[in-house]
Amino acid sequence: MSAKASLLRTALNATSLVAPRLAGRATFAVFTRPPGRARLRPDERGLLAEARTSLLTVNGKEVVTYAWGDGARPVLLVHGWQSRASRLSAFVTALRERGYSPVAFDAPAHGESDGATTTIIEFRDIIRQLHERHAAATGFEAVVAHSLGVLASLFALQDGVSTRRFVGIGGVADFDFVIDSFCAGLGLRERIRGALRGRIENALFPGDPGTWARFSAAYRPHELAAPVLLFHDESDDMVPAAQSRLLETAHRGRVRLVRTQGLGHRRILADPAVVTETVGFVTAAVDTETVTSRPGRSPVVPRS
């Protein structure tokens, strides 16, 4: 643990003993602030330069969006926490080659966008605005999401956004996991966890008794009628494969889970086999068995 993280742990744990509400507010401020921005890699620059960039606003923050292609058959790409749109470059290239129109964004406090903090609510609101801008008439051909972007996308799909297919990669299935991982990573006490949950309820969902149910893979999965393809690496050190298994169980009957080895949480996004299978799934006929696959996990696919 870094010296900064150690200092935060000590301060927050101590504050929770005498002023739990204050500790909850302080912890929420840390929770919504990514510790750093992922830098644009040299091999990503060319692709972003070819994009049509635009701005939209969420909570007073300017969000940079990207679009490629002629606008026909839009596919939304959603990055995860402390990431950026350019990390999904391999999917952009492959989809463009097949005549699709990828759409992506840098969330607030990520990539080239404004702000120092963000929340899953802002992710949802961005996705809804992009749906209105690029896919209001037909819906997205597909949504391809990574990590926390999976949970944020599913949240948006409960709230007016539509898609023909859904792909989740190294996905988070339950918001409680995010809170637990954050608290465990900083070594925070259980009472801090409770204070943080309280602050999330009050700040993001005041007066809503269904907050936590909505942020679970088990929440009304039948409302996502689209076929689902999931990828998760067995050695993922950020989001355990059990999270995708929760999604698999929730969407049983129209989901396939592909397990990989040796790709971790980030390299999986550039793996040629993962990209090829994703694009094949997106471009396949909806009513074929290859898309609406039978329950059960695919065998582990080793990767070099």
Residue 196 falls inside a structural domain:
yes
Residue range 82-122, pLDDT digits in tens: 999 999 999 999 999 999 999 999 999 999 999 999 999 99
Question: Which residue range is the domain that position 110 belongs to?
Answer: 48-174+226-304
Cα 199 from Cα 119, distance rounded (Å):
13
Cα 6 from Cα 86, distance rounded (Å):
32
Instruction: Tell me: do 277 and 254 sit in the same domain.
Output: yes
Instruction: Tell me what pLDDT residue 296 has.
Output: 38
Instruction: Tell me: do 102 and 189 sit in the same domain.
Output: no
Instruction: Tell me: do 244 and 142 sit in the same domain.
Output: yes
Q: Specify whether the CB–CB gap between 172 and 178 falls below 8 A.
A: yes
Instruction: Tell me what pLDDT residue 79 has.
Output: 98
Residue 206 falls inside a structural domain:
yes
* Structure tokens that stand for 36 in this block: 């750093």
Number of domains in the chain: 2
Task: Note the pTM of the prediction, 2 decimals.
Answer: 0.91
Instruction: Tell me: do 78 and 95 sit in the same domain.
Output: yes
Instruction: Tell me: do 159 and 272 sit in the same domain.
Output: yes
Of the chain, the percentage scoring pLDDT greater than 70 comes to: 93
Q: Specify whether the CB–CB gap between 233 and 274 falls below 8 A.
A: no
Given a cut of 70, is residue 287 above it in pLDDT?
no
Place of tokens 């909806």: 286
